[in-house]
Amino acid sequence: MDCEQIGPPAPRPCASCPYRRDVPSGVWHTDEYEKLPRYDAETGEQPRVLFLCHQNDGDDKHRRMCAGWAGCHDGDELLAVRLAVLAGNISPETAQAVVDYQSPVPLFDSGAEAAEHGVRDINTPDSEALRTMEKIRRVRSDIIETEPA
């Protein structure tokens, strides 16, 4: 994999980032929120995969690491970042960008806190959450619309 395939975090977390305090609850699928607390674990117990920005399709050539993820967690302690450098999936400069990242917008203090907020209204998202979901569907070609649960 080319080091340039996965880029550094954006300057600010996207408007639908599950780590942002101002994003409405219930925007993402439960499976996405369940991923967040796993990165709160001790380094050796964390997921080995990078947490990428939800604004790009999974195979998009412009994909990058999630800025909210980088801002919420201590980049020096993220196992996925260490492994990605060793595997050549990201450059050392991109890894340093994660370590140095400071969010310009308020984020939750942990993945668990972000997940708890995210799932709170998952069965009854408000109008703001529904608008956010529609914006995401317009950007992401790999997201299919499903009927509410």
17 falls within a domain: no
Tokens 């080319």 map to which residue? 2
12 falls within a domain: no
Tokens 């080091």 map to which residue? 3
Q: What is the pLDDT of residues 17-53, one digit of tens each?
A: 999 999 999 999 999 999 999 999 999 999 999 999 9
22 falls within a domain: no
128 falls within a domain: yes
- What is the structure's pLDDT at 24? 96
Q: What is the pLDDT of residues 97-144, one digit of tens each?
A: 999 999 999 999 999 999 999 999 999 999 999 998 888 877 766 555
Closest CA to 26 of 139, 145, 116: 116
147 falls within a domain: no
- What is the structure's pLDDT at 140? 65
21 falls within a domain: no
pTM of the model: 0.86
Residues 6+ apart with CB under 8 A from 85: 91, 92, 95
Amino acid (one-letter) located at 110? S
Largest CA distance in the chain: 44
Residues 6+ apart with CB under 8 A from 53: 9, 10, 14, 17, 63, 64, 65, 66, 67
Q: Which domain holds residue 69?
A: 30-139
13 falls within a domain: no
Question: How many domains would you assign to the chain?
Answer: 1
5 falls within a domain: no
Token pair recorded at residue 84: 């990605």
For the packed helices 79-87 and 92-100, what is the interaxial angle rounded to 10 degrees? 160
